[in-house]
Structures are given as structure tokens and as C-alpha cells.
Structure 1
Amino acid sequence: MTTLGTASAAPGEVDTGRLTVGETRDGSPVGLPVAVVNGERDGKTLYMQAASDGNELNGVGVIREVFPQLDPAELAGEIRIVGIVNYHGFQIDSHRNPIDDTKLNRTYPGDHEGTSSERIAAATFDAARDADLILDLHQGSDSRMIHETRVRCGRRHRMHQRCLELAKVFGAGHILDQKGPDGQLARAGPDEGIPTIDPELGGTVGFDAESVAVGVEGVFNVLRHYEFIEGDTDLTPQTRASGFDQYGAPAGGLVDFAVDLGDRVKRGDTLFRVTDAFGQRKAEVTADSNGLFWRTRRLPQVATGEYVCSVGTDIDSY
């Protein structure tokens, strides 16, 4: 029997339900939407979640498309899903949990007696703790970003190669292989011996169909490769970066980019220019090193020092 919150499924069954993680200010229970798919045959366990950052919806879009396609009669093992992790942030389109003003994906493995975010992290991590694989679906918030998968445990971690393999299997096209901040699920999972990745499915407001499609294919790549379902996965080489150069605006105004997302850049290449409202140039910013144009802000207006773009560095093929 596979159980997650009120969802419970015997071999060959599927169920949905709610995972209680506290109460709202009027005393109503807070229940995260959850699902379990229990295959007819024995196999591995996959834990998958979305929207730990409450305004990152592409992962929710992936789960919405993947779940109806999961047939327990064709599945070996089990899949546990938390469809929306940051319940409070999701309700108001907020990246952070507004109850404690916290970025929830900095609170893993959580605390059952802690803040709202810590309690949600603890409850969801309990569901993941004995899994064989973890997918934590994200996007680059509402920035513009290439499709990538993040390996966050660090290159010296005992699980690094297995996390890197999982990222390659997911197949988003780009991998950021850089140790992440404390409290990320993609850090806490490997510490428990579980290969964990953080797919960043583009960046948008609402759903982006192309990014959702990349995520859906990525999930099914994982299901095939790790023998949850039958089929083969083509492990094609991907572009890997192990660092980031981030660029801010040297002056306030309007940004014009000189390169497109995914373009290779060389040190000294112009990345963007800042003009005033009349098109008069105020500043020009060039690349500090060779790399790949990875991420940009979405809106053109900037204040002095405000984030503008990022270049992935230390590029190779994996």
C-alpha cells in the first residue's frame, strides 16, 4: 500500500488526496494536493513535487499533463506527487511563503514544530525521504531563462555522479552543476543518499507550453531510463556550466540586449546597452568571461544596480 496524506493506493491503483501541513488564520486546515500511483509490479520509488516557489507554475503544468498518462498496470514501482508545495504563495502568486516571508526551498529538511515553511518542508520531505529518486520541478521565476537542470549537491558530494546522471537523463539540454544554498531540496535529498535534481523549466508568468513540454518529456525520460515503464531514453550530450556571472545595470533606464538566450559569448562581447527614454545610450556592458547567455530579466526598465542578466561559465559538454 502506498500512502501520502489522505491518498492511498494498493498495487495497481491510483489515488489523490490532501497532505495536511497546518491551518490558516481562520483555523481551516491547509492541505497540499497529493497523488500516488502504485504500479502492479515492484520497482523503484519516484518522488516529484512542484511550486515550492509559489509563482513557478510550469512544474504544476508538467504534473497536470503527466499524471493522467500514468497507468499503474504498466508501471513498476511507485510514484508520489505533491502538486503544489508552497500552498500560501500559490494562492497569491508569490515566490515566497507570505505567512513567514520565507523562500520555502531554503528550509529543507524542515522542522515539524517550526515555521509555516519549515513544517511544509518537513511534511513533504517525509514523503521523499525513502524514495530512490527526487524531481523538484522549478522555473526561473518570471525571468527569461533557458531550459536547464540543476545539480546542487556540489562536485565533492558522494551523490554527485548519480545526481548528474539523473540530470542528463531528464534531458533539458543544459545542466547547471553548482553547489546550491543550504535548505534546498536538491541539497537535502543527496544528503539522505537520494539522487535529486532541480529542473528549471524556462521562465514565464503563468504556463509556457514549450517549457511544460520539455518537463513532460523529462519526466518520461526518467520513468523509462529507471525502468518504471518500458522504453529507452536517448542520452544526448548536454551543455554544462559550473558557474554564473551575474550583471547589474550601471545606470538607470531601458535595456536592449545584444545577444539571445542560449548564445555563446566571448569575453568582451557586448551583452546589453542601457538607454534613456529618448534612445540615447547611457551605458554598455560586456562579458567578463567566455560562456553561455543563460538568463535575463523580463522587463526592460532598470534602476542603477538592478539585476539584468546572467552568463553560465566554465562550459563543457556532458
Structure 2
Amino acid sequence: MTTLGTASAAPGEIDTGRLDVGESRDGSPIGLPVAVINGARDGKTLYIQAASDGDELNGVGVVREVVPQLDPTELAGTVLVVGIVNYHAFQVAEHRNPIDDTKMNRAYPGDKNGTSSERIAAATFEAARRADLVLDLHQGSTSRMINEVRVRCGRRHRMHRECLQLAKVFGCGHVIDQKGPDGQLARVAPSEGIPTIDPELGGSVGWDDESIRLGVQGVFNVLTYYGFLDGDVQPEEQTRAKSFDQYGSPAGGLVDFQKELGESVSSGDTLFEVTDVFGTLKARVTADNEGIFWRSRRLPQVASGEYVCSVGKNVDTY
């Protein structure tokens, strides 16, 4: 019998339930939605979580599609799922936990007696530590971004090769291989010996069908390659960037992008122009280095110094 919160499944069974993470302001219990898919045959354990940032919904869309397709009688090993991590932020469609104004993916490994976010991080990290592989499903918040996977352990980490291979198997086509900030699950879990990646499934308001489709395919790639499901997966070559150049606006006004997401960029290429409301050019911003146009703001209006876009650089393939 395998349990996660109130979900409990014998071999060949599936169950859903709730994972207790504390109480709300009126004293009612808070439970994260969880699922256990316990395979009929022995095997590895995969942990999947989504929406550690409350407005990043594409991962929730992936979970909604993947779980009904998993037949535990055909599965080797176990899949543990937390469908919504940042409970409070999800309820109000915000990025950060409004109870403690915290970005959840900076709170790992958590503290079971700590703040709201630390308690949620502790409970979900306890589940993640039971796994052989971890998928922490994200997106680029509500900005515009290509579909990519992030390897966050750092290139000198003892688990880097395993994390990079997991990213290749997931197979969004693009990988960011850059050490992440402290407190990220994809930083902390590899230090426990668990290969972990951070798929960033595009960027959208609400969710995006194509990003969800790629995420679903990525999960099944992992399930097949690592032996949870029968079949064969040959990982495809990925385009990897090792860092970002980020660009802000030198002037206030309206942004007109000169590059499309995923397009190659050469040093000196115009990335965007800024005009006033009457169309008069106020600024033109060019690329410092060659790379790939990776991410951009969604709304056209900017103040001076405000973030506009990012270019992935130090690009290769693997």
C-alpha cells in the first residue's frame, strides 16, 4: 500500500485525496489535491507537482491530462502527484502566497513549523524525497516565453549529468542549464540525490493548449524512458542556453518587438523599439550577444527601466 496524504493505493490501483498543510484563517483545514498511481509491478517512483506559483496553470493542465491516462495495471513503479502546491495563491490567481507574500519555489526544503509557504514546502518536499525522479511543472508566469526545461542544480553538481539527461528526455526542445536561486525544489532535491527538473511550459494568462500538450508528452517520455511504461523513447537533441541577457527599456512608452520567440539573435540585432503614443521613436535596443529570443513581457506599455525581454546565450546543443 502506498499513501500520500489521504490517498492510498495498493499495487495496481489509483487513489486521490488531500495532503494536510495547515489551516486557513477561519480554522478550516487546508489540503493539497494529491494522487497516487501504484503500479502493478515494482519499479521506480516519479514525483510530479504543479502550480507552486499560483498563476502558473499549464502544469495543472498537464496533471489533469496525464492522471486519467495512467492505468496502474500497466505501470511499473509509482507516480506521486501534487496537483496544486501553492494553495492560497491558486485561489486568488496570484503568483506568490498571499498569506506570507512568499514565492513558494524559494521556500524549499521548508519547515513544518514555519510560515505558510514553509509548511507547504516541507510537506511537498517530504513527498519528493520518496522519489527517484522529480518533475516540478512551471511556466513563465503570465509573460510570453518559449517552452523549455530548466536544470537548476548547477553544472558542477554531482547530479548535473542525471538532471541534464532528464531534461533531454522530457524534450521541450530548449533547456536552460543555469544554477537556480536558493530554495528552489530543483536545487534542493538533487542534493538529496534525486534528479530533478523544472519544465517551464511557455507563458500565458490562464493556460495554453500547445504548452500543455508538450508537457503531457514530456511526462510520458519520462515514464517510458525510465521504465514505468513499456515502450521505447529516443531523446532528441536539445538546444541549451547557459545564461540570460535581460533587457529593460531606456524610455517610457510602447514596445514594438523586432524578434519572435525562439528566433536566433546576433550581436547588434534590434530586439525592440519604444515609441510614444503618436508613433515617434524614442529608443531602439540591440542585442549584446548572440543567442535565442527567449522571453518577453506581454503588455506593450513600459516605464523607463522596466523589464522587456530576455535572450538566452552561450547556446549549444546536446
Could you say what the CA RMSD is over the residues aligned between the two structures, in angstroms?
A: 0.4
Deviations 1:283-303 (A, max 9, x none): 000000010000000000000
Cα shift at 1:231: 1.1
1: CA distance, partners of 2:83 / 2:266: 40
3-state SS, counterpart of residue 285 of structure 2: strand
Q: Which residue of 2 aligns with 1:247?
A: 247
Q: Which residue of 2 aligns with 1:204?
A: 204
Deviations 1:256-313 (A, max 9, x none): 0001000111110000000000010000000000100000000000000000000000
Cα shift at 1:234: 2.4
2: CA distance, partners of 1:233 / 1:305: 45
Q: Which residue of 2 aligns with 1:103?
A: 103
1: CA distance, partners of 2:223 / 2:201: 18
Q: How does 1:182-221 map to 2 (within 5 A)?
A: 182-221=182-221
1: CA distance, partners of 2:233 / 2:201: 19
Q: How does 1:59-70 map to 2 (within 5 A)?
A: 59-70=59-70
Q: Which residue of 1 aligns with 2:171?
A: 171
Q: Which residue of 1 aligns with 2:224?
A: 224
Deviations 1:221-245 (A, max 9, x none): 0000000001111211110000000
Deviations 1:74-108 (A, max 9, x none): 00000000000000000000100000000010000
TM-score norm. by structure 1 comes to: 1.00
| Structure 2, unaligned runs of 5 or more | none
Q: Which amino acid aligns with 2:5?
A: G
Cα shift at 1:130: 2.1
Q: Which residue of 1 aligns with 2:233?
A: 233
Deviations 1:168-217 (A, max 9, x none): 00000000000000000000110100000000000001110000000000
Q: Which amino acid aligns with 2:317?
A: S
Question: Percent same amino acid at aligned positions?
Answer: 75
Q: Which residue of 2 aligns with 1:113?
A: 113
1: CA distance, partners of 2:18 / 2:194: 24
Residue 46 of structure 1 pairs with residue 46 of structure 2: yes
Deviations 1:37-93 (A, max 9, x none): 000000000000000000000000000000000000100000000000000000000
1: CA distance, partners of 2:130 / 2:203: 31
Deviations 1:10-51 (A, max 9, x none): 100000000010000000000000000000000000000000
3-state SS, counterpart of residue 25 of structure 1: coil
Q: How does 1:66-145 map to 2 (within 5 A)?
A: 66-145=66-145
TM-score norm. by structure 2 comes to: 1.00
- Regions of 4+ moved over 2 Å: none
Q: Which amino acid aligns with 1:243?
A: S
